[in-house]
Amino acid sequence: MNYSKEFLVKPGSKLRLSDIDPSYRGKYKGDDKAEDEIERNLERLRKSQYLLYADSRKSLLVVLQGLDAAGKDGAIRHIFSGVNPQGTSVVSFKQPSTIELAHDFLWRVHTQTPAKGEITIFNRSHYEDVLIVRVHELVPKAIWSKRYDLINSFEKMLSESGTRILKFFLHISPDEQLERFKDRLDDPATQWKISESDYTERDLWPQYMEAYEDAISLTSTETAPWYVIPANRKWFRNLAISEILADALDDMDLKVPPPRVDIADIRRKYYAAAQKGNGR
C-alpha cells in the first residue's frame, strides 16, 4: 500500500474530513498483522536518520496536528523510539508568551526548525495561529485569513534551504476522543493530562473541523504536503506515518560523506600505535 499517495491532500484540492473514515485500517484486520511492517519501517527510519545526520546537507521537519487525544504524543513515542536523540528534537508549541506575542506569529517557530542533518518534530505548530485563533476569535478574520499565504511562503523558504517538510493531521472521531478521555480518567498515571478544556472544546468540534479543512486545503503544497491519517486505531496511525516518513527519507538521496582525513595515513598511524602497544 502506498500511503504517501493514499492519504495525501493534493495541492489545490478541497478537503472534506467527513469523507475520510477515521477507523480505516486498509488491508489489515488487526495490529498483529501490521507489527512486522511497522518494525521494518522503523528500521528504515533508523538507518535513514543516520544517513541524514552524516550527510548533513538536508533536514526533515515533521508537523503533527490533531485535536486533544488524537495521538500526537503516542505517535512520537512509538515512531521515533529508535532514532538517535543527538539528531532529533521534539518541540511543543503552547500558549505564546508575552515576548512571543510582541513579534510576528512565525517568530517563535523559525528558531525551532531543524538544522542540517537533523529531524525536528512539531507537536502542534504554527498552524495553531489559523486554528485555535480562528475558532476562539482571538484575532480578527482580516488577520488570520492572511496567514495561510504567509505560512506557504515560510515553508517554501525552508524547503528551498534544504528542509523536507511533512505535515500530518491525526484524524479521530468524537466517540474515539471521548473513549480516550475515559482512559485518562481511569488511569492514575494519565490523570494529570486531564483539563476542563478537554470537554468544553468538544462543543466546538464542527468549527475545528471547518478550520482544519481550510488550513489543510490552503497549505498542502508540493514542497510541504499534508497527509490526513485515520487515527482511531493507534497501530494503523503508526503504520501509515512510519511508511510515509521512511519513503520520504529514502527519496532524499542521502549518502555517507567521504572521509575528511587521509585514511591511508590514519591507518598507518593506527598500526604504528598498535605495534607500540603490543611491544609493552
Lowest mean pLDDT among 64-78, 98-112, 253-267: 253-267
How far apart, in whole angstroms, are the C-alpha atoms of residue 241 and residue 63?
11
pLDDT at residue number 278: 67
pLDDT score, position 270: 86
- Residue 10 near residue 220 (C-beta atoms within 8 A): yes
Answer for the pair 107, 100: CB distance below 8 angstroms, yes or no: yes
Q: By C-alpha distance, which of 13, 4, 53, 46 is closest to 221?
A: 13
* CA-wise closest residue to 174 among 211, 214, 203: 203
Report the pLDDT value the prediction gives residue 273, as an integer from 0 to 100: 87
pLDDT-derived band at 260 (thresholds 50, 70, 90) equals confident
* The total number of structural domains that make up the chain: 1
Is it the case that residue 192 has pLDDT exceeding 80?
A: yes
Q: What is the CATH number of the domain that holds 145?
A: 3.40.50.300
Cα 155 from Cα 169, distance rounded (Å): 17
Residue 71 in this model has a pLDDT that exceeds 70: yes
- Domain containing residue 91: 3-278
pLDDT for res 251: 96
Average pLDDT over residues 104-131: 97
Q: Are strands 59-65 and 119-123 parallel, antiparallel or unpaired?
A: parallel
pLDDT value of residue 279: 57
Which amino acid, residue 171?
A: H
pLDDT tens, position by position, 110-123: 999 999 999 999 99
Report the half-sphere exposure of 1 (CA within 13 A, side-chain side): 18
Q: How many CB atoms lie within 10 A of CB 226?
A: 26
